[in-house]
Chains A and B, each alone.
Chain A
Amino acid sequence: MAKNLRLKAARAAKDMSQQTLADAVGVTRQTVNAIEMGDYNPTIRLCAAICRALGKTLDELFWEEIE
């Protein structure tokens, strides 16, 4: 699974650390790190929580175009 650089960029744009985002969505920092590194595929519930915390849509953060 590829790295989610859009999530990392959106988080940095909000000036949030991994820990801050993790606290905001109710998971551990390691889980946020795993999502950004592409090591873990989050549930739709967690995706939605992350989108709300970062003020983005699901498409903007998680949609991948099939080539």
Chain B
Amino acid sequence: MKLELETLDERQTLMTRKYGYQSFLLLIALVLINAFICEVVYVWAEPMVSALFVVYIALLYFAIRTQLRVGIGKIKSKWKFALAMVPFALIGGVMGYAAATPGEAGLIADGKATINLWILFFLFWAILVVAAVIIRRRRDKRDGNQAERSDGR
């Protein structure tokens, strides 16, 4: 009997849920820490920007963990991989340009982080996720070669 492979197998589903749960806990912790900092220490950014930063960190954790451990998105062809990276490059380029262009506010205005700083961090996020994808692909290739060797093929 051959079972059909759907999007994720049982290990991948389990790991995705595990990292999703961890990201959620991280999000709650960061929201509380951010609230404490803003109330007690210093208002370091506008409310919307600080919220985006908190979401950004939780998303970054989830994206990197799932890429490294779960390997979502099975892209075998180098051309397909390059094609999948195009949206990242486009988004990153546009965001980077927007951040670098002098506007009404720079990265920090009146002692507070601005939306431009968050945009710059988004570019950083894209780079990190792409790096995680590349690391995972190399590791998969290495593990695959080792498995083939141990099979005597």
List residues of chain A with CB under 8 Å of any chain B CB.
8, 11-12, 16-19, 23-31, 33-34, 40, 42-43, 45-46, 49, 52
B2 partner, pick from A8, A17, A24, A34, beta carbons under 8 A: A24
B147-A49 in contact (CB<8A):
no
Q: A64 vs B74: C-alpha distance in the bound complex, in angstroms?
A: 33
Contact A34/B11 with A17-B153, A26-B3, A28-B71 known, Cβ cut-off 8 Å: yes
Contact A29/B10 with A24-B2, A52-B1 known, Cβ cut-off 8 Å: no
A28 partner, pick from B9, B147, B153, beta carbons under 8 A: B9
B110 within 8 A of A: no
Q: A24 vs B9: C-alpha distance in the bound complex, in angstroms?
A: 13
Contact A28/B74 with A33-B143, A46-B10, A52-B1 known, Cβ cut-off 8 Å: yes
B39 within 8 A of A: no
Q: A31 vs B151: C-alpha distance in the bound complex, in angstroms?
A: 16
A18 partner, pick from B2, B4, B147, beta carbons under 8 A: B147
Contacts of A25 in B (CB 8 A): 2-3
Contacts of A17 in B (CB 8 A): 147-148, 151, 153
A43 to nearest B CB, angstroms?
6
Provide the main secondary structure of the chain A interface.
helix
A37 to nearest B CB, angstroms?
10
Q: A29 vs B151: C-alpha distance in the bound complex, in angstroms?
A: 13
A-B contact pairs, 5 of them (CB 8 A): A11-B151, A12-B151, A16-B151, A25-B2, A46-B10
Going nearest first, the 10 A-B pairs with the smallest beta carbon separation are A26-B3, A27-B9, A31-B11, A18-B147, A26-B5, A17-B151, A40-B11, A31-B9, A28-B9, A43-B10
B17 to nearest A CB, angstroms?
14
- Among residues of A, the one whose C-beta sits closest to the C-beta of B14 is A40
